[in-house]
Structure 1
Amino acid sequence: MPVSRRTLAVAFTACLALSLSACGSGDDGGGSTDASGKVEGDITFQTWNLRANFKPYFEGVIADFEKKYPGTHVKWVDQPAEGYADKISADAAGGTLPDVVNVSPDLVAPLAKAGLALDLDKAAPQYKKEYLAGAWASHEIPGMTGTYAFPGYLNTGPLFYNKSLFEEAGLDPDQPPKTYDELFADALDLADKSDGEVATLANVPTIEDFGRYGVELMNKEGTAFSFNDAKGVELLTKYKELYDAKALDPQALTATPESSGKKFLTGAVAMNPGSALDLGNFKKQAPNLYKNIGITDQITSTGHVNMYVMGVMVNAQTKKTPAAVAFAHFVTDAEHQMSFAKQVAIFPSTAGSLDEPYFTKEDGTDETRVRVAAAKSLKNAVNYTPVLFSEQMKTALRNEIAKALQGKESPREALDNAVEACDRLLQQQG
């Protein structure tokens, strides 16, 4: 459960190839979907790269749970970030998946398809009202009914911009772009006034950018992608214009979040997405930038910003369903998510938590300004990245976008080819 979704390892393919009989479907005597029995027994809880920084916190949560439910014992195992998806896949194949597992939505999808993720809408529907609607829905799987993990913490962030670069280009530093039309116009102005030395954006569009732009990414059945519609082609055409004008950084085709962050620090890029965590870095590494930092909302055509979400899944094969469900709920309830959010710059997914003063009252610092703005936007945020959109699909889309930006294909051809490749990979998953 890393703090940023930017670095998530999501190359999770092995379990997709396993049949329901191989992974188990929950009706072979190995587990029960009934979570209403007595909460007792030993369970195993697996997290994702959390022990190094949060050992006392999670040991405290476990101790509180065992105190609340005498007769329970929680064994905590923590896996490194590297290879986490492969570890889950191997456990799924070998029948050794822990009772409660820290997951992201894309990791839940193959487990749910294989009958290994407990459907909370059936097993624990009473908890749904405790969470933000968008967060609960983030662990739904297209083509299936049900919800397959408790939502844990959320993250989102604003757009940062360099006020001095805006001012040098004759743009109002206190009026950053609020719409895509304004963004594209300002970007072209910045590139023109700087003779191509200053780009506004450092990254090519990702699947979530198409979602924010209002593109229908996938059909409701979850059987085919649709981001090659007219609106998708329109967005990529706009990015091609930016790329040709050097308003999109020339190295965007190979950019990483780290490299684009460095471009922003050095003033080569005028805008960059980020979070409250970044402000400390600006203050230390680029004090001049920090003095001139502008903070504005994510730009969307939908009115909904993108959320990153991590969840806690219950193994449908657990022999201790009541205890596993109770613990998964306990670790993600309002009290514990709020406690965790005060230790690290993340946000709780529980309904009402974002109305607490910690997330609504500013104290004059940029840190609280970012936190308050992000919390407000999260109330109706959505996870745009389809849970069925794999790493291979991301690569296929990125490769086709690169061809379009370089003029090797038209935006229409590139997106048609990307959809064709992603649909083919989707069929291989099924």
Structure 2
Amino acid sequence: MRISRRAARRAAAATAMAAASALALTACGSGDGSGGSDSASGKIEGTVKFQTWNLKTNFKSYFEGLIADFEKEHPGTEVEWIDQPAENYADKISADAAGGTLPDVVNVSPDLAVPLAKAGLALDLDKAAGKYKGEYLDGAWKSHQIPGMEGTYAFPWYLNTGPMFYNKKLFKEAGLDADKPPKTYDELFDAAKDIAKKSDGRIATLGNAPAIEDFGRYGVPLMNEQGTKFTFNDPKGVELIKKYKELYDAGALDSQALTNEAEATGRKFKQQSIAMNPGSALDLDKFKKEAPSLYKNIGITPAVTNTGKDNMYVQGVMVNSQSKVKPAAVAFAHFVTNAENQMDFAHEVTVFPSTEGSLDDPFFTKEDGKDETRVRVAAAKSLKTAVNYTPVMLNDQMKTVLRNEVAKAMQGKKAPQRALDDAVAECDRLLKSAG
């Protein structure tokens, strides 16, 4: 029996799922992603250094049990667990890569895998562990592929997505069918204008300006296939910004949307001055305790999309291509991310397994009247076909560039086309300078 981990359920997964800052990798490598031999054949033995990203505080028992199970299954192996804090995690990986001290198995997000793969430090799993590909959701496996490079550079690990909460009372007051929330962006824009008009501008539907995920869900091509140029300034991207500016001018987009953080938007949703907001099971519990008048009117719906596919947030487990214990490192990375262990982790905290068929488990499909289950079932359903819309090449600095240019368009300081052209030009420059 694995060590009890029930207490960990109280912990939030938000910290572990936070997006990383850009990784300025200075390591030397082949630059073609090969990192030397991709062979992971051989005896599974030796000490595997395994690094996670801010998980030890809340999930110590889970990982100790996981490691003990692996060592028991593979006599002659030992796993040395290293957990790094969330702050400066990317810088730590960069320093380890440059100094030749990168652990054998490393928890990464897709953007963190990019510079490591380009430096030849991330093992190509299509070559070294392709036999496992069918065990994972297709969209999850592809999330650690890099435009312009052949291969997949991390095992997909846990996933997340956020269904939308909406205020049924505010929808009804605007004369809208509260049981039929918007599913497409056109439906969203129409509903938002109705709500603003019927409330004399007091109620906004959305609290944030469009981010890169919105461009993806709207159907905007975000990057060329070679991964050398951003393309979100195409006519469909410009159309999206024009639509959002119409909402902003009509009061259907919160007046502080250009500066709002998620916490501020959530607070306004609780105050019922915003009609829709993304969230999680943790938020639903807060509504019940802190905003009972909102809670009784809460509706849950998938995120709005024109593509029919929601956005997937994904974490991965990368194998160092220079590992001296490569067979054991690949075996352990696969063990961490196999269906059984991902299901165990999903029972610890509100995350979702990336393994094929796991989301059909009753834990993710059967309602039991609990709020946590309502959100879990809704999110799991959307994740089956979800994709990671955020280009792996788009780092935090680039996201800031896009956010600032979108704000200028919303404020009328720049035409939408000019704003997106400028955003693409600067992101392309940053992409080129990053090598």
TM over 0.5: yes
Query: Equivalent residue of 1:328, what SS?
Result: helix
Aligned residues: 425
Aligned match of 2:381: 376
Cα distance in 2 for partners of 1:2, 1:146 equals 32
Does residue 26 (structure 1) correspond to residue 31 (structure 2)? The answer is: no
C-alpha separation between the residues in 2 aligned to 1:111 and 1:6? Answer: 20
Matches within 5 A, 1:38-77: 38-77=43-82
Alpha-carbon distance in structure 2 between the residues aligned to 1:247 and 1:24: 47
Matched, 1:254 2:254: no
Matches within 5 A, 1:105-254: 105-254=110-259
Which of 20, 38, 59 is equivalent to 1:10? 20
User: Which one of 340, 344, 361 corresponds to residue 349 of structure 2?
Assistant: 344
Deviations 1:86-110 (A, max 9, x none): 1111111111111100010000001
Distance 2:432 2:347 in 1: 42
What is the rounded CA distance, in whole Å, between the counterparts of 1:41 and 1:25 in structure 2?
23
Q: 1:159 to 1:284 in 2, by over 3 A?
A: same
Structure 1 residues 99 and 245, CA, compared in 2 at 3 Å: closer, same or farther?
A: same
Note if contact 2:33-2:149 (Cα within 8 Å) is conserved in structure 1: no
2:319 pairs with one of 305, 314, 317: 314
**How far apart are 1:298 and its partner, in Å?**
1.1
For residues 243 and 14 of structure 2, what CA distance do their matches in structure 1 show?
Answer: 28
* Aligned residue in 2 for 1:103: 108
- Output one character per residue of 1:155-191: Cα deviation in whole Å (capped at 9) or x when no partner: 0121100111112222222221122111111111111
- 1:198 is paired with a residue whose SS is coil
Q: Distance in 1 between matches of 2:294 and 2:302?
A: 18
Worse-superposed segment, 367-376 or 69-78: 367-376
Secondary structure of the corresponding residue to residue 371 of structure 1? helix
For 2:4, the equivalent position in structure 1 comes to none
1:262-321 per-residue CA deviation (whole Å, 9 max, x = no partner) reads: 111111111001122221111111111111101111111111110100000001110000
Q: Does 1:363 align with 2:368?
A: yes
Give yes or no for contact 2:33–2:122 (8 Å, CA) kept in 1. Answer: no
Residue 10 of structure 1 aligns with an amino acid whose one-letter code is: A
Match for residue 5 of structure 2?
none
**Does the Cα contact within 8 Å between 1:47 and 1:101 map onto a contact in 2?**
yes
Contact 1:23-1:95 at 8 Å conserved across structures = no
Residue matched to 1:404 = 409
Distance 1:23 1:408 in 2: 42
Name structure 1 gaps, 5 residues minimum.
none
Distance (Å, rounded) in 1 between the aligned partners of 2:75 and 2:370: 44
Q: Which moved more, 1:371-380 or 1:40-49?
A: 371-380
Deviations 1:38-76 (A, max 9, x none): 100011100011011100000000000000001101000
Aligned equivalents of 2:180 and 2:16: distance in 1? 28
Deviations 1:115-160 (CA, angstroms, capped at 9, x unpaired): 0100000111111010000000000011000000000011012110
Q: CA offset at residue 234 of structure 1?
A: 0.6
Q: Give the counterpart letter for 1:229 in structure 2.
A: D
Give, in angstroms, the shift of residue 7 of structure 1.
6.4
Q: 1:298-355: per-residue Cα shift (whole Å, max 9, x none)?
A: 1111111101000000011100000000000001100000011011111100001111
- How far has the Cα of 1:21 moved from its partner? 5.8
- Per the normalisation by structure 1, the TM-score is 0.96
Aligned-CA RMSD value? 1.8
2:392 pairs, out of 387, 394, 400, with 387
Q: Distance in 2 between matches of 1:84 and 1:291?
A: 40
Distance in 2 of aligned mates of 1:402 and 1:284: 34
Question: 1:130 corresponds to which letter in structure 2?
Answer: E
Question: Aligned letter for 1:138?
Answer: S
Percent pairwise identity: 70
User: 1:308 corresponds to which letter in structure 2?
Assistant: Y
The amino acid that maps onto 1:205 is P
Mapped partners of 2:328, 2:418: distance in 1: 52
Are the aligned partners of 1:41 and 1:72 in contact in 2 as well (CA < 8 Å)? yes
- Alpha-carbon shift at residue 18 of structure 1 (Å): 4.3
Distance in 1 of aligned mates of 2:19 and 2:377: 29
- Which whole-Å CA distance do the structure 2 matches of 1:299 and 1:386 have between them? 19
Q: Structure 1 residues 94 and 344 mapped into 2: Cα distance closer, same or farther (>3 Å)? A: same
Q: Is the 8 A contact 2:184 2:305 kept in 1?
A: yes
298-307 or 2-11, larger mean C-alpha shift: 2-11
Contact 2:16–2:53 (Cα < 8 Å) also in 1: no
Q: Which residue of 1 aligns with 2:423?
A: 418
Secondary structure class of the residue paired with 1:14: coil
The 1-side partners of 2:57 and 2:104 are apart by: 22
